[in-house]
Amino acid sequence: MSQGHRPPHGGQGSSPRRHDGAGAGMDRAASDAKIAALLTKIVFKKEALPRDIFSDIAQEAARLVKNNGGDGKNRPTQLRRFYDELVMWNDSVQQGSEDKEEKYKELEPFIKMLKAKVAYAKGRNHVDKSFERFFSHCIDRIDSHDSLKHCKFFMEAFMGYSKALEKGE
């Protein structure tokens, strides 16, 4: 058996080229600056909700995440997994006759665990650093049942714009 044998199915390590993000539509420093600027606009507090959070800001987020994806990262199925789980937690909090804020506090640790799940996906090269930063920032902004609902609406808009960008290729 030769030591240099690589699996024919294109498995891990079978591609000789490496993609580090440079040249994927924008250089890394510019990309990081744009993401940092975007994150300052993402707020889910009822009293401070930007009027364009579900339109222009969500569209900008989708564009930045798409432009940084490259090399099979940030695929729609991966992004959808995180959105679907966020929706599931939101539904668990918002539905029912019990106190929504009490229910949110009970489920908050599981909602915050989404940050660990996105970090794991990044470690497996399913998503890139831009999506991890973006999604973790969104989860960090959740601190009540209302902000959870607003985050879910924002991610719904983000997914819609992501799909539109995907179809626009």
Q: What is the pTM of this model?
A: 0.80
pLDDT at site 26: 53
pLDDT (average), residues 116-124: 96
Least confident interval from 25-29, 35-39, 148-152, 165-169 = 25-29
Q: Closest Cα to residue 83, out of 144, 160, 30?
A: 160
At a CB cut-off of 8 Å and minimum separation 6, what does 147 contact? Answer: 44, 45, 46, 141
Q: Closest Cα to residue 44, out of 35, 52, 36, 53?
A: 53
6: which 2 tokens?
Answer: 């690589």
pLDDT (average), residues 136-142: 97
Sign of CA dihedral 117, 122, 125, 127: positive
pLDDT at site 84: 98
pLDDT at site 71: 79
Sign of CA dihedral 35, 40, 43, 49: negative
C-alpha separations of 112 from 57, 83, 86, 138, 155 in Å: 22, 14, 10, 10, 15
